[in-house]
Amino acid sequence: MTASEVRSLFAVASRPEVVSLAGGMPNISGLPMDVVGSLLNNLIEKRGLTALQYGSGQGDPRLREQICEVMSATGVRGHPDDVTVTVGSQQALDLVTRIFIDPGDVILAEAPSYVGALSTFRSYQAEVVHVEMDDEGLIPDRLREAIRAVNASGRRIKFLYTIPSYHNPAGVTLPAERRTEILRICRQEDLLIIEDDPYGLLGFDGEVPRAMRADDDEGVVYLGSFSKTFAPGFRVGWTLAPHAVREKLVLAAESSVLCPPTFSQLAVSEYLSGYDWRGQVKAFRELYRERRDAMLGALSDLMPEGTHWTHPSGGFYVWLTLPEGLDTKAMLPRAVTNRVAYVPGTAFYADGFGSRSMRLSYCYPTPERIREGVRRLAQVVEQEVEL
Ligand code: PMP
C-alpha cells in the first residue's frame, strides 16, 4: 500500500490562502443542521436502545427498504433482501474486491478511474487494465479490444469497474446507447459489472441517468452512497447484488465490521422518512450547478489555447488536459506557490499515464473562489507553455 497523491496533497491544499480545486469534499453547508440535530435528538430519545446497539450484518431492514426507494429514482427495481448496507461505498468496493480477486486477476476500469477504487484494487494485488474513454465515457469498441487482449494473454478478468454517471475524475456521463452496448458486451463475455453510482442523482439537467443495473439484474453489482446526497460523515453506502454475491458480501462485511454502524443507519433512515430529502437533493444540484458554471465560464475565459477540458452535466469534477509536453505533476509545486491546488492526472491511472491531465473539483469552494483559482491556474499554465 502507498499513500495516494490526493492524500499527501490535503495538508498543502487546506492552507487558507490556497484555492483548493483538489479535494472532492461534498458541500454540506446547505444542509439544515437544526433539522438534522432534532432528528438525531429524537432518535436517541425514542429509539436510543436500538440505535446504540449492534445490528444485523446486512444492515437495518427498514433502511434497506428505503434504499430501494432511493434507487428507484435511477430506474433500479431492487429487493431489500438483495441490499447490503456498507460503511460508505468505499467499503463496498473493498468487499467486492475481497470476494472476487485473487492476486494477479484483472479488473477492467476506465482510464482514468476513481483513485480510491484503484488503491483498493492494488491492495488486493489485482492488475488493473484501463479502457479508453472519450467525452461520452467508456468506448465500447475499446472495451471489446481490452477483453480480447486480456483473454489472449491467458489472464482472468474478474469484473469491469465503471462509473457511468458524472464520472470521478473525468466528469463525463455515458449515454443510454452506450450503456446498452456495454451491457450486451459484458453479457456475451459473461463479465460482471461493478457499477459505482454515488453521483447519479446529482445531474444538472433535471434528468437522472438510468442506471445500468436497471436493465440487468444478474450481471451488475450496483454501489450507492448517501455521502453526496446527504452527508459523508454518516458513512452509509450500500450494494445491490445478485443473490449469490450478496450472501458472500454479507459474510465478508461481518468479518470486517460485524455490522454497519446502527446509529448512522437509523439517522439516515429517519432523515429519509422525516425530511424532504428529494428537495434537499434538488438544493444540492443547484449549489453544484452554480459552481460548475463558474468553473466552466472561468476556464473558457482564461485557459490558454491547446487546453482541453470536459463539460460535466452533473457531479463534482472537470478533467483538464494540457498541451503536449506539459506535466501536471511537475507543475504542481509552481501551482501551489501561486496558491492553487489540483490533483495530477497520474493519480487516476494504475499504469503511470495521465501526466498531461489534472482533476479540478468545483464542489467545495464558492463561485468567486473557483474563478480566482482558475485565474491562478491559467497563469501557471501560461508560464509553463512559454518555458
Ligand atoms: N466511488 C466514487 C466514484 C467516489 O467518488 C467516492 C467518494 N469520493 C466513493 C466511491 C466513496 O464514497 P463513500 O465511501 O463516501 O460512499
Structure confidence at residue 207 (pLDDT): 86
Residue 11, pLDDT score = 77
**What does each C-alpha distance from 111 to 66, 115, 122, 314, 344 come to in angstroms?**
34, 11, 15, 19, 14
Distance CA 172, CA 344 (A): 18
Q: What is the pLDDT along the chain (387 residues), one digit of tens a residue?
A: 777 655 666 677 778 999 999 989 999 998 999 999 999 999 999 999 999 999 999 999 999 999 999 999 999 999 999 999 999 999 999 999 999 999 999 999 999 999 999 999 999 999 999 999 999 999 999 999 999 999 999 999 999 999 999 999 999 999 999 999 999 999 999 999 999 999 999 999 988 999 999 999 999 999 999 999 999 999 999 999 999 999 999 999 999 999 999 999 999 999 999 999 999 999 999 999 999 999 999 999 999 999 999 999 999 999 999 999 999 999 999 999 999 999 999 999 999 899 999 999 999 999 999 999 999 999 999 998 887
Q: What's the pLDDT at 349?
A: 97
In this structure, are residues 375 and 361 in contact, taking their beta carbons and an 8 Å threshold?
no
Which pLDDT belongs to residue 386?
Answer: 81
Cα(98)–Cα(84) distance, integer angstroms? 15
Ligand 1 neighbours by CB, cut-off 6 Å: 24, 88-90, 114, 116, 163, 168, 196, 198, 225, 227, 232, 237
Question: In degrees rounded to 5, what are phi and psi of residue 109?
Answer: -145, 150
Mutate to test the pocket of ligand 1, among 93, 172, 174, 196 (most ligand atoms within 8 A of CB): 196
d(CA 8, CA 333): 13
Only one residue has cell 428529494, namely 278
- The answer to whether 80 touches 242, Cβ cutoff 8 Å, is no
Give the pLDDT score at 9: 65
Identify whether the C-beta of residue 151 lies closer than 8 Å to the C-beta of residue 199: no
pLDDT score for 21:
96
ipTM over 0.95: yes
Pocket test for ligand 1, best of 221, 227, 235 (most atoms within 8 A of CB): 227
Of 357, 74, 67, 352, nearest in space to 225 by CA = 67
Phi-psi region of 171 (alpha: psi -120 to 50; beta: other; left: phi over 0): left
Our CA dihedral for 272, 276, 282, 284, rounded to 10 degrees, sits at: -60
Edge-to-edge strand list for the sheet holding 308-309:
308-309, 317-321, 357-361, 343-344
CA of 258 to the centre of ligand 1 (A): 21
Q: What is the CA radius of gyration of the chain?
A: 21
Helix (H, G, I), strand (E, B) or coil at 309: strand
Q: Return the SS3 of 181.
A: helix
Q: Rounded distance, CA 68 to CA 83, Å?
A: 8
Q: Which amino acid is at 40?
A: L
Grid cell for residue 89: 461505498
